Amino acid sequence: MEISVSDTQTEKVLAPQVVAPSLRAQVVAIPFVTVAFLLIVTILIAMVWPLQRYETAPGRATLVGSRLSIDGSQVVVYRPERGVRFVTALGTQLNPLQAFMGWADPFVNVLTCEERFGDCNPIQSREVQLGAMANAKEIAVYIALSYLGFAATFQEGPAQVAGFDASVCPDDAPQQRACKVLAVGDVITSIDIGDGPIEVSVITTLSEVLKNAKSGDIAILEVIPLTSDGPGTLKSVEVELLQSPDDATRTLIGFSARDTRTVQLPFTVNFETDEIGGPSAGLSFTLALIDNLTQGELVPPQGVAVTGTIEDDGTVGAIGALVQKSIAVKKSGVKYFLVPTAQGPDDIAAAQAAVGAAVKILPVATLDEALTTLIEIGGDQVIAPVK
For residues 29-43, give the mean pLDDT. Answer: 63
Structure confidence at residue 46 (pLDDT): 46
Among the listed residues 73, 65, 154, 69, the one whose alpha carbon sits nearest the alpha carbon of residue 387: 73
Amino acid type, 379:
G
CA torsion through residues 131, 135, 140, 145, sign: positive
- Per-residue pLDDT tens digits for 135-194: 899 999 999 999 999 999 999 999 999 888 877 888 788 899 999 999 988 999 999 998
Q: How far apart are CA 337 and CA 316, in angstroms?
A: 14
Q: Which long-range contacts (CB under 8 A, 24 or more apart) does 189-192 make?
A: 189/158, 189/222, 189/223, 189/224, 189/234, 190/221, 190/222, 191/219, 191/220, 191/221, 191/222, 192/219, 192/220, 192/221
What's domain 159-257's superfamily in CATH? PDZ domain (2.30.42.10)
Q: How far apart are CA 281 and CA 300, in angstroms?
A: 20
For residues 372-381, give the mean pLDDT. Answer: 94
Q: How far apart are CA 386 and CA 147, in angstroms?
A: 13
Structure confidence at residue 130 (pLDDT): 80
Structure confidence at residue 325 (pLDDT): 96
Question: Residue 283: is its pLDDT beyond 90?
Answer: yes
Regarding predicted confidence, which is higher, 156 or 116? 156
Regarding predicted confidence, which is higher, 253 or 38? 253
For residues 6-11, give the mean pLDDT. Answer: 41
Lowest-confidence segment of 78-87, 96-105, 131-140, 226-235 by average pLDDT: 96-105
pLDDT level of residue 370 (50, 70, 90 thresholds): very high
pLDDT level of residue 253 (50, 70, 90 thresholds): very high
Query: In 166-181, which positions are buried (b, 16+ CB within 10 angstroms) versus exposed (e)?
Result: eebbeeebeeebbbbb
User: Roughly what angle, to the nearest 10 degrees, separates helices 23-48 and 96-104?
Assistant: 90
Is the backbone of residue 216 left (phi > 0), alpha (psi -120 to 50) or beta?
left
For residues 92-106, give the mean pLDDT. Answer: 64
Structure confidence at residue 378 (pLDDT): 95
Structure confidence at residue 11 (pLDDT): 44
Regarding predicted confidence, which is higher, 167 or 78? 78
Question: Residue 277: is its pLDDT beyond 90?
Answer: no
For residues 86-108, give the mean pLDDT. Answer: 71
So where are the chain's domains? 53-153+266-376, 159-257
- Per-residue pLDDT tens digits for 317-347: 999 999 999 999 999 999 999 999 999 999 9
CATH of 53-153+266-376 among 3.30.230.10, 3.40.50.1000, 1.10.3720.10, 3.30.565.10: 3.30.230.10
Question: Residue 48: is its pLDDT beyond 60?
Answer: no
Structure confidence at residue 26 (pLDDT): 57
Question: Residue 309: is its pLDDT beyond 60?
Answer: yes
Q: What is the mean pLDDT of the chain?
A: 84
Structure confidence at residue 32 (pLDDT): 66
Q: What is the DSSP letter of 11?
A: P
